Amino acid sequence: MLDFHKNHRLLVLTAFTVFLVLSIIIAVIPAYQLQETEPLPNMEALSDQELRGLQVYTAENCVACHTQQVRNIEMDNTWGDRPSMASDYYYSKMRQDVWRQSPSILGSERTGPDLTNVGKRQPGEEWHLLHLYNPRIVVKESIMPSYPWLFEEVSEKDIRKNDLVVPVPSKFLKDKDKKIIASEKAKDLIAYLQSLKQASLTANMKADEFIPASKKKEVTKSDEESNLVDGAQLYMKTCAACHQADGQGLSGAFPPLAGSSIVNDSNPETLIKIILQGYDARAEYGVMAGFAEMLTDEEVAAIANHERSSWGNSAPTVTKDEVKKIRDYIKMLNQ
C-alpha cells in the first residue's frame, strides 16, 4: 500500500514520474511527430523578406487578435478553402534563430479576421499599407490599432528614389505638407501577409470536410433564382475594402467606381479584364491585383453587374459567357 502521507520521498518520486510521463505523452511525442511533417507539393518556401516579415508579425503581437487556423467547422469556410493541416505551417515552424523558438502564429482570438488566406483575399500592397498606417482609412468600423511607428513622415523634398510613398488621404494627415513613407519593417510585414495563401492539394490528396459537411443538392429550375450569385455580397467581400461600399473609392489610393467611364462602358471588356488581371494605375492611384484565380466566371459577371447598376451607374448586363470568352483569350495570350 502506498503510504504517501508518511513517505514524502515516495510522494515526490511518484509525482515526478507522473509529470514526466504526461510531459512525454502531451508535449514531447507530438512535437517529435511534428518534425516529420512535409510541405505540400504546391507550397513555396518563405523568402528572406517574408521571414523578416514573420518576425515583425510576432514582434508586434498580431497573433493576439488574428488567428491562422481554419477549423474544420462550416463557419470557418469563410477564411479558407479547406481546414488547415500540419503541412500548412511547415515553413513558419522553423526556429527564428539560436535563441528564439518557432514563432506562435496559430492564435486563439478572432478580434480581427483569420489571416490564413489573406494573401488571396486581399493581395493589394496599397491596401495593406493604408490598413497598417490607420485601419479606419479602409475599414471605417475597424477597432484595430494603428501602427504609425512602422512609417516615417517626411517632406516631399526629402523623399528618396527607393522610398515607398503611402497614398494616405489628406484628411488623415496631421501635417498636410508631409508625405508618409513605409519603413523596411512595414514592407517586410506586408510581404509576409501577401504570402499567406492556402496551398492547393494535388489530385491524390483529400482535405477534411467542414463539419457539418454541406451536402450538395441538384439544382432544379425552381431553385435557380435562389441560387443566383449575389453580386452585392461578393462586391462587399472582395472589392469594398478598397473601392468602399458606396463605390466612391479613396482619393489618391483607390479609384471611384461611381460614374466611372470604364464601369459604364457599353463594352464590358476592359472592366472584366481589370477584375481578372488587375490594373496598374500608379500614375494616379495604386496597383490592383487580379482575381482570376479567386473568382469564377459567374462571380466576375455578378460583381461587374453590381458595379454597372449601382451608385447611379447604368450599363448593359454582363454574362458569364462574356467573362469566359475574355478569360480564355487572356490564357491564350499568356501561353
| pLDDT tens digits for range 114-136 | 999 999 888 888 899 999 999 99
Residue 61 sits in the same domain as residue 173: yes
Q: CA-to-CA distance for 178 and 229, rounded, in angstroms?
A: 44
Residue 237 sits in the same domain as residue 162: no
Residue 178 sits in the same domain as residue 292: no
In a domain, 39, yes or no: no
- Chosen domain end from 142, 174, 195: 195
- Asked whether the predicted pLDDT for residue 223 surpasses 70, the reply is no
In a domain, 11, yes or no: no
Q: CA-to-CA distance for 92 and 105, rounded, in angstroms?
A: 8
pLDDT mean over 257-265? 91
- Asked whether the predicted pLDDT for residue 216 surpasses 60, the reply is no
Residue 54 sits in the same domain as residue 162: yes
What confidence score (pLDDT) does residue 215 get? 55
Helical H segments across the chain, by residue range? 8-23, 29-34, 48-59, 118-121, 125-133, 184-195, 231-238, 240-243, 261-264, 269-277, 297-308, 320-334
In a domain, 21, yes or no: no
In a domain, 108, yes or no: yes
What confidence score (pLDDT) does residue 226 get? 47
Q: pLDDT-derived band of residue 282, with 50, 70 and 90 as boundaries? A: low
- Chosen domain end from 167, 195, 223: 195
One DSSP character per residue, 106-136 reads S-S--SS---TTHHHH---HHHHHHHHH-GG
| pLDDT tens digits for range 76-90 | 988 998 999 888 988
Query: What total number of domains does the chain contain?
Result: 2
Residue 181 sits in the same domain as residue 244: no
In a domain, 129, yes or no: yes
pLDDT mean over 248-272? 89
Q: Higher confidence at residue 304 or residue 33? A: 304
Query: What residues pair up with 152 in beta bridges, in sequence order?
Result: 181
Write out the three cell numbers for 16: 515526478
Residue 314 sits in the same domain as residue 236: yes
Residue 237 sits in the same domain as residue 137: no
What confidence score (pLDDT) does residue 309 get? 92
For the ranges 60-64, 85-89, 146-150, 218-222, the lowest mean pLDDT is seen at: 218-222
For the ranges 89-93, 96-100, 217-221, the lowest mean pLDDT is seen at: 217-221
- Chosen domain end from 195, 216, 243: 195
**Cα within 13 Å of Cα(335), Cβ side:** 6
pLDDT more than 90, % of the chain: 46
pLDDT mean over 13-26? 95
In a domain, 312, yes or no: yes
What confidence score (pLDDT) does residue 228 get? 63
What confidence score (pLDDT) does residue 214 get? 52
Residue 160 sits in the same domain as residue 249: no
Query: What residues pair up with 254 in beta bridges, in sequence order?
Result: 250
Residue 109 sits in the same domain as residue 245: no
| pLDDT tens digits for range 135-163 | 998 888 889 999 999 999 999 889 998 89
- Mean pLDDT of all residues belonging to the chain: 87
Q: Is 0.85 topped by the overall pTM?
A: no
Task: Read off the CATH number of the domain in which 285 is found.
Answer: 1.10.760.10
Residue 251 sits in the same domain as residue 179: no
In a domain, 1, yes or no: no
What confidence score (pLDDT) does residue 255 get? 87
pLDDT mean over 71-79? 90
DSSP 248: -
In a domain, 16, yes or no: no
Distances (CA, A) of 65 to 57, 71, 78, 117: 11, 16, 17, 16
Residue 184 sits in the same domain as residue 54: yes
Residue 66 sits in the same domain as residue 178: yes
**Host domain of residue 245:** 231-334
